[in-house]
Amino acid sequence: MSLHKTVRKVTTHVLIAMKLRGEKIAMLTAYDYSMARILDKAAIDVILVGDSASNVMAGHDTTIPVTLDQMIYHAAGVVRAVRRALVVVDLPFGTYQGNSRKALSSAIRIMKETGAHAVKLEGGSEVLKSIQRILSAGIPVMGHLGLMPQSIHKFGTYVVRATDDDEADKLVEDAHSLEEVGCFAIVLEKIPAKLAGKVAREIKIPIIGIGAGKDVDGQVLVLHDMLGITQEFSPRFLRRYHNLYQEILGAVETYISDVRTLDFPNDKEQY
Ligand code: KIV
């Protein structure tokens, strides 16, 4: 029987066992109680309270402005909804880079104030000290390599990363370092599928891809993108499972019309 069908609570150990058995891991983002309830009911393995909240919830152009307090607000709502999934929370920009003490205190705030199960942060060798310190407090860490949206002003663009040998070699080296230091999983974002497959084969911890092809241990998408709530963002890797933008627009237009024409409320919808 598949692990994902039998486990009552997904832990970091369950994810590693899933990789060992060749069972794929399904991960989605969520930022609020109502959506997280649906995802958990559907038996998603991992819910990521991503700093993509900065884009899809707050309307910023990048993930840079979202604050630790805002991430804690989002994550606390998600955790209240979840019974089964592992909840991972992004450490936002400026809360862990270059200062491992600050990294630890940011991660501790997330764990204490939200009840989440793990944190995620972007980067390899540059943030190893921060990761080590967070791990030393018993907080599980998920790494994130490839396209790292918090470094958008360094990259200058959201194009596919690690297409040249130097960047690919550095990514493989970083993935090994993240495994050795004790991360329980790594997200690889928008890199060539061949490279992602190589990393997933070489490394024992689960590799979760977004725009990294199918030869990895699991997939993650931003919920608002896969549901078709966002319209303007359509990279090649994004499969839209719904067109909720149109559905919601249609429902709201019908409601407005019903109010204006006195169709709503009717006799049965009043006291
Ligand atoms: O913030 C986010 O949603 C993410 C995913 C794209 C992996 O980091």
Alpha carbon of 270 to ligand 1 centroid (Å): 44
pLDDT of 258 reads: 98
pLDDT of 241 reads: 98
pLDDT by residue for the chain (271 residues), tens digit each? 788 778 899 999 999 999 999 999 999 999 999 999 999 999 999 999 999 999 999 999 999 999 999 999 999 999 999 999 999 999 999 999 999 999 999 999 999 999 999 999 999 999 999 999 999 999 999 999 999 999 999 999 999 999 999 999 999 999 999 999 999 999 999 999 999 999 999 999 999 999 999 999 999 999 999 999 999 889 999 999 999 999 999 999 999 999 999 999 999 999 9
pLDDT of 232 reads: 87
- CB of 122 sitting under 6 A from ligand 1: no
Q: Which residues are catalytic?
A: 189
pLDDT of 120 reads: 99
Alpha carbon of 191 to ligand 1 centroid (Å): 14
pLDDT of 62 reads: 97
Query: Is the CA virtual torsion 10, 116, 199, 39 positive or negative?
Result: positive
- Atom 1 (ligand 1) nearest CA: 50
- CB of 187 sitting under 6 A from ligand 1: yes
- CB of 39 sitting under 6 A from ligand 1: no
pLDDT of 7 reads: 83
Probe residue for ligand 1, chosen from 27, 32, 48, 91 as the CB with the greatest number of ligand atoms within 8 Å: 48
- CB of 186 sitting under 6 A from ligand 1: no
Probe residue for ligand 1, chosen from 52, 142, 233 as the CB with the greatest number of ligand atoms within 8 Å: 52
- CB of 147 sitting under 6 A from ligand 1: no
pLDDT of 3 reads: 82
Predicted TM-score (pTM) above 0.85: yes
The answer to whether residues 92 and 102 touch, using CB atoms and an 8 Å cutoff, is no
- CB of 29 sitting under 6 A from ligand 1: yes
